């Protein structure tokens, strides 16, 4: 089997899932061709079975913006023709699936049958796809795909509801974590390198700082927590709201208690010294970072939104509180920080859950079975 993967290469869950899936397939002897704007950040070094083809946006003085979607379709055609690819797996519907479907149509006139599978990741449906200008295009791209997967039951249901699509169209294949890479470790020097005293607790937030992540809520919660427990807040990632958060940190005079580490390709090291992961998203189709934290035995505190309840078990691997209930979120964090046995217990359950439900082996096999089913036209 030879497959092409199209994804956004930047700092985001869909790019991480696409890259990790491609790497796992490559290790199984499948030839995988990534077709992207840049090399996905998790695709470092020489990897077995992995090839990378760059899409070059086309600019011309007449255009207001450089074109991406059409050169992407052109690149897909070129790669499929050259390497005799059977299947294109797009991550994030807009505009990747539309480009792949255009390539499919053009190649069919040459007698080439190309299958297109779309994986919906979340904001492609819950935010972007619902915009009036994109609604019909998103719906069309889902209906015209040969196969569609969603990363949670929540996302499947919401997609079917929003676009009036039959549930039979969509298969749920959960996101996954590499349990060998994400496993608890004790390296005393890591806290020292960050300038965090050994006994100080670490609360971590990892995101792309888009408005949907509500990164300022994290700060509000932390400002309550730090009055009760000696702790620091570590922000990992970068995005549109970073500036606002920095300003607020200054206003609250918390500069010496809040650390910004920026973008990091791998978060296992920083998770290994964390006591609680805090997620304050308005919605989250899955919450890959919650799973990564659970694999590292770090409890999660989050709003009870989207697909997070399918990942985090309230009262067992973390605490889920009502949306915008900052008070309850702060109480939950304090409880976990004050009672180390509870943190340990929740951590262990988190890793067990990650292993049982969201292991790389399990979900990659699910993808492979799905590819075979679609290739056979079933």
Q: Which residues bind ligand GMT (CB under 6 A)?
A: 8, 12-14, 17, 121-123, 151, 175, 208, 210, 212, 281, 283-288
The least CB distance from residue 67 to ligand GMT, in Å, is 21
Task: Considering the complex, state which of residue 128 and residue 196 has its C-beta at the smaller distance from ligand GMT.
Answer: 128
Q: What is the length of the chain?
A: 378
Name the residue with tokens 């679609």: 374
Burial environment of residue 269 by CB neighbours within 10 A (0 to 12, 13 to 18, 19 or more): middle
- Is residue 76 within 8 Å of residue 50, measured between CB atoms? no
Task: Considering the complex, state which of residue 287 and residue 350 has its C-beta at the smaller distance from ligand GMT.
Answer: 287
User: Looking at the DSSP assignment, which residues form a beta bridge with residue 204?
Assistant: 234, 277
The least CB distance from residue 281 to ligand GMT, in Å, is 6
Task: Considering the complex, state which of residue 302 and residue 329 has its C-beta at the smaller distance from ligand GMT.
Answer: 302
The least CB distance from residue 73 to ligand GMT, in Å, is 21
Task: Considering the complex, state which of residue 225 and residue 267 has its C-beta at the smaller distance from ligand GMT.
Answer: 267
The least CB distance from residue 151 to ligand GMT, in Å, is 4
Name the residue with tokens 């299958």: 115
The least CB distance from residue 161 to ligand GMT, in Å, is 16
User: Inter-axis angle of helices 96-108 and 132-144, to 10 degrees?
Assistant: 50
Burial environment of residue 244 by CB neighbours within 10 A (0 to 12, 13 to 18, 19 or more): middle
Q: Write the DSSP string, 95-150.
A: THHHHHHHHHHHHHTTT---EEEEEE-SHHHHTGGGSHHHHHHHHHHHHHSSEEEE
Strands 276-279 and 201-206: parallel
The least CB distance from residue 267 to ligand GMT, in Å, is 13
Write out the two tokens for 121: 């990741």
Task: Considering the complex, state which of residue 92 and residue 319 has its C-beta at the smaller distance from ligand GMT.
Answer: 92
User: Looking at the DSSP assignment, which residues form a beta bridge with residue 171?
Assistant: 149
Task: Considering the complex, state which of residue 5 and residue 114 has its C-beta at the smaller distance from ligand GMT.
Answer: 5
Task: Considering the complex, state which of residue 210 and residue 244 has its C-beta at the smaller distance from ligand GMT.
Answer: 210
- Could you give the CA distance from residue 135 to residue 116 in angstroms, rounded to a whole number? 20
The least CB distance from residue 123 to ligand GMT, in Å, is 4
């Amino acid at each position: 089997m030879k497959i092409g993967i199209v994804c956004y290469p930047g700092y985001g869950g869909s790019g991480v899932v696409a890259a990790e899936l491609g790497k796992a397939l490559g290790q199984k002897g499948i030839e995988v061709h990534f077709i992207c704007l840049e090399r996905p950040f998790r695709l470092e070094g020489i990897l077995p079975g992995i090839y990378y083809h760059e899409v070059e946006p086309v600019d011309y003085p007449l255009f207001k913006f450089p074109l991406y979607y059409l050169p992407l379709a052109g690149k897909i055609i070129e790669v499929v023709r050259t390497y005799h690819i059977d299947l294109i797996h797009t991550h994030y519907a807009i505009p990747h699936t539309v480009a792949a479907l255009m390539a499919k149509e053009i190649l069919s006139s040459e007698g080439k049958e190309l299958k297109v599978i779309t994986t919906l990741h979340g904001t492609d449906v819950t935010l972007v796809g619902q915009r009036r200008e994109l609604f019909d295009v998103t719906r069309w791209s889902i209906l015209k795909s040969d196969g569609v997967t969603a990363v949670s039951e929540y996302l499947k249901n919401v997609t079917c509801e929003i676009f009036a699509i039959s549930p039979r169209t969509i298969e749920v294949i959960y996101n996954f974590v590499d349990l060998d890479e994400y496993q608890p470790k004790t390296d005393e020097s890591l806290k020292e390198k960050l300038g965090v005293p050994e006994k100080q607790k670490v609360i971590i937030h990892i995101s792309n700082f888009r408005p949907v992540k509500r990164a300022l809520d994290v700060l509000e919660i932390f400002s309550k927590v730090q009055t009760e427990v000696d702790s620091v807040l570590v922000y990992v990632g970068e995005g549109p709201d970073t500036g606002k958060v920095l300003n607020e940190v200054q206003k609250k005079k918390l500069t010496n208690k809040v650390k910004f580490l920026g973008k990091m390709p791998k978060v296992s090291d920083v998770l290994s010294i964390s006591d609680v992961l805090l997620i304050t998203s308005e919605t989250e189709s899955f919450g890959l970072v919650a799973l990564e934290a659970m694999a590292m035995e770090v409890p999660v505190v989050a709003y009870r939104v989207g697909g997070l309840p399918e990942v985090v078990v309230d009262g067992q691997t973390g605490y889920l509180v009502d949306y915008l209930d900052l008070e309850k979120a702060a109480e939950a964090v304090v409880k976990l920080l004050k009672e180390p046995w509870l943190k340990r217990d929740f951590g262990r359950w988190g890793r067990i859950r990650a292993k049982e439900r969201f292991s790389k082996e399990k979900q990659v096999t699910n993808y492979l079975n799905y590819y075979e089913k679609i290739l056979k036209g079933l």
